[in-house]
């Protein structure tokens, strides 16, 4: 669903990680949620309604990453070899729904969708050689898409 970018740890943290993960220790893990609770939360998230307005915005975002669609910007044709598919849109909406629920809301906004555009889309966009040569990566494509795709009118 997501591709999260993490920086390298600082030297002290990295040394601690190396020491703690190469010893023979028995880790104790406390169970926080069982499988049934996780399934119930997943069901709850899927019950959150999405307005056609928000669904249209998610659709516009993913479609704007695809080369070969005539209305897309020239830079998409130049820099994107393969854009985001329908599953990207599904995951954008599921992430936005979960975000709304975790924030105590029963409505999903376009802002919720924007919040998850990079982690959902970055590993679903494949850039061209020209993009790489000019320093354009999938995160830059997502930034440009977010800047160019406006929320649909009600």
| pLDDT tens track for 97-149 | 999 999 999 999 999 999 999 999 999 999 999 999 999 999 999 999 999 99
Is the pLDDT score of 82 beyond 90?
yes
Asked whether residue 6 is assigned to any structural domain, the reply reads no
Asked whether residue 18 is assigned to any structural domain, the reply reads no
Residue-level pLDDT at 70: 84
How many domains is the chain built from?
Answer: 1
Residue-level pLDDT at 73: 78
Residue-level pLDDT at 121: 97
Query: How many residues belong to the chain?
Result: 154
* DSSP-assigned letters across all residues of 50-113: --HHHHHHHHHHHHTT-TT-TTS-HHHHHHEEE---HHHHHHHHHHHHHHHHHTT-SS--HHHH
Asked whether residue 26 is assigned to any structural domain, the reply reads no
Asked whether residue 96 is assigned to any structural domain, the reply reads yes
Asked whether residue 60 is assigned to any structural domain, the reply reads yes
Asked whether residue 33 is assigned to any structural domain, the reply reads no
In this prediction, residue 153 has a pLDDT band, given cuts at 50, 70 and 90, of confident
Residue-level pLDDT at 151: 94
In this prediction, residue 68 has a pLDDT band, given cuts at 50, 70 and 90, of confident
CATH number reported for the structural domain that contains residue 85 in this entry? 1.10.8.80
Residue-level pLDDT at 25: 83
- Residues spanned by the domain of 102: 40-148
Asked whether residue 3 is assigned to any structural domain, the reply reads no
Asked whether residue 12 is assigned to any structural domain, the reply reads no
Q: What is the pTM of this model?
A: 0.86
Residue 92's Cα: distance from chain center in Å?
Answer: 6
Contact present, 26 and 41 (Cβ < 8 Å): no
Q: Taking all residues of the chain, what is their mean pLDDT, rounded to a whole number?
A: 94
pLDDT in tens, 4-30: 888 999 999 999 999 989 998 888 889
Report the alpha-carbon distance of residue 11 to residue 15 in Å, rounded: 6
């Amino acid at each position: 669903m997501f591709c999260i970018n993490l920086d390298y740890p600082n030297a002290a943290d990295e040394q601690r990680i190396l020491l703690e993960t190469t010893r023979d220790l028995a880790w104790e893990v406390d169970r926080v949620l069982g499988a049934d609770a996780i399934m119930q939360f997943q069901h709850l998230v899927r019950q959150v309604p999405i307005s056609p307005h928000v669904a249209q915005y998610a659709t516009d975002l993913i479609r704007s990453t695809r080369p070969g669609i005539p209305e897309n910007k020239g830079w998409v044709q130049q820099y994107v070899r393969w854009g985001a598919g329908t599953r990207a849109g599904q995951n954008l909406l599921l992430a936005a729904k979960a975000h709304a629920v975790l924030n105590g809301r029963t409505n999903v906004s376009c802002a919720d969708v924007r919040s998850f555009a990079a982690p959902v889309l970055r590993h679903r966009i494949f850039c061209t050689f020209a993009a790489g040569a000019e320093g354009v990566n999938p995160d830059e494509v997502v930034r440009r898409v977010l800047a160019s795709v406006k929320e649909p009118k009600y």
